[in-house]
Amino acid sequence: MEVWVPWGETELLVELPSEALVDLLDPSEPDLSSLHRDPVLEREPSVVLVDVTFASPSSVGELIGRLPSGTTYAVSWADLESPHSGAELRRAVEEKGAIPVGDVSELRALGERLAGKGEVLLVVPEVSSVLHALDDRSLAEVFFRTLGVPHEALKVQVQRYLLDARGMFLGFSEHRPAVQRPERRYDLVICSPGGFPFDRTFVGSLMVALSASDLAGDGRVLGLVCGCGEGFGSSTALERMVVGSRDGTGDAYSLLAKRFRDERSRVRLFTNAPLPRAIVQDLLGIRQVPKVDDMVHAATRFVGREVRVAVMRRGALGFQQV
């Protein structure tokens, strides 16, 4: 069987054994008739937190410009510190009068500012990462716990927005995403964030891969297909991923590092990301392969040619974290 998987601004062909049992787990297409250009809110919040991790720089201005608060903070879990798209995102945020939040010190400062604010609007994209694809209450709890904010004292509304395949803002969604629980575990899980711009950095792509890892059986193979045109991401992200959460700071990268270490001990991680081996293989312990087909060969070595395969060509959208 042949499957095309997004990679950067193109696609790669994955050839699976004829004996393989293959499930394509692409998310359903959004119902654009249910979208609004402006959010529908029960009350006017005093603070807005908007997650721009997966948005394109050209759409961030439109998104922030439609939000109803004079105090808006733009949070990115992966990109604001990267030298290319991160700088573009930060510039787009600041041009709209919002406050960018990316590194550890900015996260801590935001936590202090939120204390006692009362009402907060949390605006998140309908995509999956370390934090997304949860119901509203769980998402808010994880979000504020990462910021170190006692959210019990806050009144939180959650508003989700939709992006197209290029990271462009489409509108605010009326419906909450349907959370799916995997019915089975697979011998091989191949996932792609969906190509550019979602796979522009490795740290952002890894977020999507870890969201998909629940589908892989213990000791099986998780393969991440990503173009990574901007490399790993920021030097801050790399340092935090290597150090992990040993110092107990609780920042977003420590959260990602802990989840990564847990999954690396449970499944075999492969990637075809065109990054220096010293980073991917030696520092992070991920097996690096030149071709996607090598991931398939690795899985068949472990379990034979009759492998059960899951392919997600546009990220683990809608799959709940366990």
Q: Tell me: the pLDDT tens digits for 138-167?
A: 667 767 766 666 667 778 888 888 877 677
The parent domain of residue 74 ranges over 32-173
CA separation for the pair 268, 222 (Å, rounded):
6
Q: Same structural domain for residues 195 and 166?
A: no
Q: Are residues 253 and 296 in the same domain?
A: yes
Q: Is 14 helix (H, G, I), strand (E, B) or coil?
A: strand
Average pLDDT over residues 196-216: 80
Residue 232 lies in a domain: yes
Q: Judge whether 80 and 86 are in contact, CB under 8 Å.
A: yes
Cβ–Cβ contacts within 10 Å for residue 318, how many?
18
User: Contact at 8 Å (CB) between 36 and 174?
Assistant: yes
Q: Does residue 131 share a domain with residue 253?
A: no
12 and 64 fall within a common domain:
no
What is the C-alpha separation between 187 and 175, in angstroms, rounded? Answer: 33
Please tell me the pTM assigned to this model: 0.75
**Domain boundary pick from 151, 173, 195:** 173
Q: What is the CATH number of the domain that holds 304?
A: 3.90.226.30
Q: Does a structural domain hold residue 320?
A: no
**Tens-place pLDDT, residues 29-85:** 667 777 888 988 888 888 898 888 777 788 888 899 899 877 898 887 665 666 666
Closest CA to 83 of 201, 252, 198: 201
CA distance 274 to 65: 36
DSSP secondary structure string, 121-158?
EEEEES--SSS-SS-HHHHHHHHHHHHT--GGGSEEEE
Burial (CB count within 10 angstroms: exposed 0-12, middle 13-18, buried 19+), residue 142: middle
Q: What is the pLDDT of residue 219?
A: 84
Domain end call among 173, 204, 238: 173
Question: How do strand 21-24 and strand 10-15 relate by DSSP bridges?
Answer: unpaired
- Average model confidence (pLDDT) for the chain? 78
Last-in-domain residue among 173, 188, 222? 173
Which amino acid appears at position 218 of this protein? Answer: D
Within-domain flag for 317: no
**Are 59 and 125 found together in one domain?**
yes
Taking a C-beta distance cutoff of 8 angstroms, is the pair 131, 139 a contact? yes
Per-residue pLDDT, 320: 39
Same domain, 140 and 220: no
* CATH code for the domain of 119: 3.40.50
- 199 shares a domain with 141: no
Please check whether residue 321 lies inside any domain of the structure.
no
Token code pair at residue 151: 């959210």
Helix (H) or strand (E) holding 8: none
Instruction: Answer yes or no: is 194 within a domain.
Output: yes
- Confidence (pLDDT) at 129: 40
Q: Based on the domain organization, do 39 and 141 belong to the same domain? A: yes
In three-state secondary structure terms, 184 is coil
Domains held by the chain: number: 2
Cα angle for residues 265, 267, 272 (degrees, 5° grid): 115
Token digits of residue 222: 């998780």
Say if residues 39 and 162 touch (Cβ distance below 8 Å).
no
Angle (CA) 61-64-67 rounded to 5° is 150
Tell me what the mean pLDDT of segment 106-121 comes to: 75
In a domain, 106, yes or no: yes
322 vs 108 pLDDT, higher one: 108
Please tell me whether residue 159 adopts helix, strand or coil conformation: strand
The answer to whether residue 167 sits within a structural domain is: yes
Q: Are residues 197 and 221 in the same domain?
A: yes
H/E segment holding residue 12: strand 10-15
148 shares a domain with 130: yes
**Within this chain, do residues 189 and 159 fall inside the same structural domain, yes or no?**
no
Mean pLDDT, to the nearest integer, of 218-226?
Answer: 89
Cα–Cα distance for residue pair 163/52, rounded to 1 Å:
11
Asked if the model's pLDDT at residue 244 lies above 70, the reply is no
pLDDT of residue 11: 92
Same domain, 91 and 147: yes
Domain annotation covers residue 319: no
SS3 category, 48: strand
